[in-house]
Chains A and B, each alone.
Chain A
Amino acid sequence: MAKLRIQFENGDPEKVIEFDPAKAPFHHDGRPGSVLDVMLGHGIHLEHACGGNCACTTCHVIVKQGFNKLGEASEQEEDLLDKAPGLTPTSRLGCQAVIDDPNAEIIVVVPRYTINQVSEAAEE
């Protein structure tokens, strides 16, 4: 079983998911077996304003462990990550970062801020 540990920069409690990558997809948004797919399929929310179509950066996560165990990022994902606030060398889009190694132990952090953070400021 693969293990995905999710930490939240906003202080929400850590979550741990154990899952069989061969059973992907677990939900209907994002690439099958992606961090987003695994999280949503196990009842854990991750923003994905574009529906998990690699068209925004709201599912930005920072990989603390297991970066090399994830499927490689496409040029499209890299282009979007360029625009993600708080970009790090181990940033990925949750909708695109696929975990297919059944022995992977991945730790991701969900940053506090994502691009175009929505607040009342969206109204004027």
Chain B
Amino acid sequence: MTTGSPPAAAGRATLGARVERIFDHTPDTRSLFLSLTSGKHLRFVPGHFISITIPLGDETRSRPYSIASDPEDRGPFEICFNRVEGGRGVAWLFERRIGDTIDFTGPFGAFTIDQPPDAELGFVAEGTGIAPIRPMLKLALGSASPRRVHLIYAAQDRAHILYTNDLERLTKTFENFSYETVIAPGEEIYDRLAAATQSRWVDRDADRTRHLYICGVGKGVIRLRDLLRGAGYERRAVHYEQW
């Protein structure tokens, strides 16, 4: 039972966005390119997500989607997502068409880079976990620092390694950037990521000054966090977002 006045109203401004473009990376992985209905530009930092209002029957739910585009791009911003079994929110998003509008709040999030730390940076992405990391890479490489930046990117097959053209371009443009891919079935993917992480950032040297950023789905993200912190990286140098 409750006592008191009616429920407190939501305290956040809802923004509207129009679907400008749809891009299918694979049959089950899609990007929507969105522009604000106000005609303004969404201000965000790499790593932010928006919380989309999704109508499901008689109720609405808010579901988060990371922004995959560069905040410096003045065109539509991009969210990237994949179908998940029983995922009603994402099923609704797959039904959106060009010209449709969606409501959202945000941007939000604590897994962000505003000012890159003055250190070597390591990134680990699993599947669509590349979405928030993609603009982070551009920010980290776009600043003047010659810091080394390396990405370990895992997916269930080669087709689900997204943004390969971007990654190749970054590799050619920046000598201090490199990346490697891990292809493994879902049940093995974090075993393989843990092995790659251990090899590159734990066993290879005693340097523990790097900052590391991990994004993926499930408890494997926590496993990678614990691996790195257990190996001597400072707690606040190991950043992660688990979906």
Q: Which of the four size classes fits the interface of chain B? A: 35 or more
Question: Which residue of B has the minimal Cβ distance to A74?
Answer: B222
Which B residues are CB-close (under 8 A) to A42?
1-2
Q: Are B61 and A118 in contact (CB under 8 A)?
A: no
User: Interface with A: B5-13, B159-167, B186-194, B201-209, which one?
Assistant: B5-13
Known pairs A50-B49, A115-B110; A10 contacts B11 (CB<8 A): yes
Q: Are B105 and A118 in contact (CB under 8 A)?
A: yes
Which A residues are CB-close (under 8 A) to B9?
45
Interface check B143, CB cutoff 8 A = no
Known pairs A56-B108, A116-B106, A122-B42; A43 contacts B7 (CB<8 A): yes
Among A18, A50, A117, A122, the residue within 8 A (CB) of B43 is: A122
Q: Which of the four size classes fits the interface of chain A? A: 35 or more
- B63-84, CB < 8 A from A: 63-64
Smallest CB separation, A46 vs chain B (Å): 8
Known: A51-B62, A53-B64, A122-B15. 7 other contacts (CB 8 A): A13-B5, A16-B2, A17-B1, A18-B1, A44-B7, A56-B110, A116-B48
Please provide the 8 A-B residue pairs with the shortest distance between their CB atoms, ordered closest to farther: A123-B40, A49-B51, A49-B108, A13-B5, A83-B110, A15-B4, A118-B12, A12-B8
A-B CB contact pairs (8 Å), 18 listed? A18-B1, A48-B62, A49-B51, A49-B105, A49-B109, A50-B64, A51-B61, A51-B63, A55-B64, A56-B49, A58-B108, A116-B48, A118-B12, A118-B105, A119-B13, A122-B15, A123-B15, A123-B36
